[in-house]
Amino acid sequence: MSADLELEYALAELPSAQHRAGLAGLVLMTRWLERQPKRNGLCEITRLDVNGATIRIDQTGLRELFDQCYAASAEEQAWESKQTKKRKDGSKEEIPPIREELRTVVSPKTGKSKQKTVYIYPGVVPSGAFLSSYDPTANGHDGAWIKLWRDMIWGIMRGVPATREPFKKRALGSYTDDADDVWKELQRPPDYAVELPSTYYIGAQAANAENVPFKDRARFQFLLHFWPFVAQVYVPARLVYDKKTKQEKTEFAGYALTIPDVANLGDFCEELPSVLKSTRGTEMFGYRPRESVIDVAAEGALDLMNKLNQRLATAAGNQSVSDLLLGVEVVHLEKQGNNIRLWSTARIDPIQSMIDEYARVKARFHHHLFRKQRLLNVLNEQSWFSGFESLMCTTASEEIIESRFFRADARAGFEDAKQNSHLMKGETEVVDKPEPSDQSSVEELIYQLVGTYITAKLNSKYQLKWSGVKGVSAKEADYGDKKAKIAKDAFLSVRSRTGSDFVDYFASTLCSFPQFLNEEGYATLAQELYNDADKVRTLTLLALSARG
């Protein structure tokens, strides 16, 4: 048996966030092994500090490390399809199942039950080592968060069946020599290079466009076996319209992997287990943890940093997220057939104001489209109303101005922008005669102007005033319906006009009734219309939604 090796790593020498996350994963895996009652060989941490770590290991210890990293169990799994056909291999030949079962299935639409044949096949389930012990939903070795991780491993990291052999062999108790191969590579000089497959490093290819092969130092590539244990898994979701049910349904679009770029190894490895255990929720959304379902892939980075921020706020000391992380990389991947599609990549820096704004937006807004756009604006450090013009001009009115959730979020957006001015403090209804507000703010000016227009239009067209209907349910309902119609008609008129056509409509229609603007307000509004009519148009559409 070969003598032991001492592997010394410094964060600054590692070439990528995946390598630095891999070092953190190796530290956590080694710590977990040290707590196990039965050990094989040597694998221990001899140094762990801010800048890096030193691992002492022998060949038997490396085998044990890999056996835990790629531990899996053989389990029976039901195979169902719409045609109830059996599985097929690469040659499209049917694979015989272990057995067939007749199960009763209840239709969610009709409530009627019917018999359905399912085929039982042998399956392999990755273990996940220490991750189940940090799952707040855990029941033994199973739980919602560890299931999400396992599904990601099988669907993305090992989405191609040929790459699953390390798990399958261990599940079946077969001999595997992967640890011995790595041991030989680690024995070579420190700069010894090996091929870098995409199984370990996302985005790697056999060779680039110039036919230069992807390679990595063997001692660096060794770390890439462990970064999935610290990467957090999220599920980007989208709402699609189902023509059959005439309702929206949620579809999951692959996985967003958030890879922490570690700046302080010792403290990060100390805090991450508590983050996973104490800050992740137990509420479910279908078969996924609700907190794992996100609107935008890059949101996963902000959510991870926000959870780390929550942990640091309760721990002793005055550390911030930027003390532990250089940033967070996000990779959005989805399996389509036998191909793993890379949809997007992003890197988010640990900016405290951005993390705080993310937490506020996530809790404040509830309509999926409105919240998604606000999150995009947070990520891109843009104004709160940026991007809404395109959204509101390309989305059916039923999903925006006719949605009470969208209208409520639009109103909340203006309330946030007003900075506690008197105009909208605590109000939920349009008053007959609004009081003057801060007339240097274009958001408040447009919000007030639209409110005055709707109120005056209700009075002139229907002879309705809020003071005359307040307290009478039937009249309040009629008032609300007519107010919504006026707002929608104006919304559609604004949406169909751009440039000078919009300016003419704004001046001749929305400003056709007396406005409670002072000289400063008129000057501000006129300047904005002249310099940035698109901004005024966006805010007008939002204000009509909020006031409607």
Tens of pLDDT, residues 487-546: 999 999 999 999 999 999 999 999 988 887 887 888 888 899 999 999 999 999 999 999
Please give the average per-residue pLDDT across 267-291, as a whole number. 95
Please give the average per-residue pLDDT across 44-59, as a whole number. 97
* C-alpha span between 312 and 352 (Å, rounded): 13
pLDDT for 239 beyond 90: no
* C-alpha span between 272 and 266 (Å, rounded): 10
pLDDT for 269 beyond 80: yes
pTM confidence score: 0.88
Sheet containing 5-10: order of strands: 5-10, 52-57, 43-48
What was the pLDDT predicted at 100?
85
Q: Where are the domains of the chain?
A: 5-70+176-228, 75-124, 231-364, 388-547
H, E, C per residue of 379-414 = HCCCCCCCCHHHHHHHCCHHHCCCCHHHHHHHHHHH
Tens of pLDDT, residues 325-375: 999 999 999 998 878 999 999 999 999 999 999 999 999 999 999 999 999
448: nearest Cα among 430, 462, 470: 430
When mean pLDDT is compared across 108-117, 136-145, 178-187, 221-230, the lowest value belongs to 108-117
Q: Which amino acid is at 349?
A: D
In contact, 84 and 116? CB cutoff 8 Å = yes
pLDDT for 21 beyond 60: yes
CA dihedral 420, 421, 426, 431 (to 10 degrees): -170
pLDDT for 123 beyond 90: no
Considering the chain, what percentage of its residues have pLDDT values greater than 90? 70
* C-alpha span between 536 and 230 (Å, rounded): 45
* C-alpha span between 12 and 52 (Å, rounded): 8
Strand pairing class (52-57; 5-10): antiparallel
Longest CA–CA span in the chain (Å) reads: 95
Please give the average per-residue pLDDT across 203-227, as a whole number. 85
Tens of pLDDT, residues 440-478: 689 999 999 999 999 999 999 999 898 888 999 998 999
When mean pLDDT is compared across 155-169, 439-453, 473-487, the lowest value belongs to 439-453
pLDDT for 435 beyond 70: no
In contact, 542 and 414? CB cutoff 8 Å = yes
Query: Is residue 350 classed as helix, strand or coil in its secondary structure?
Result: coil
What tokens appear for 510 in the block? 């929305």
How many other C-beta atoms can be found within 10 angstroms of the C-beta atom of residue 421?
18
Crossing angle for the helix pair 533-547 and 404-417, nearest 10 degrees?
A: 120
* C-alpha span between 3 and 24 (Å, rounded): 25
DSSP assignment of 162-217, as one string? GGGHHHHHHHTT----HHHHHHHHHTS-TT-EEE--TTTSTT--SB-TT-PBPEEE
Please give the average per-residue pLDDT across 105-128, as a whole number. 79
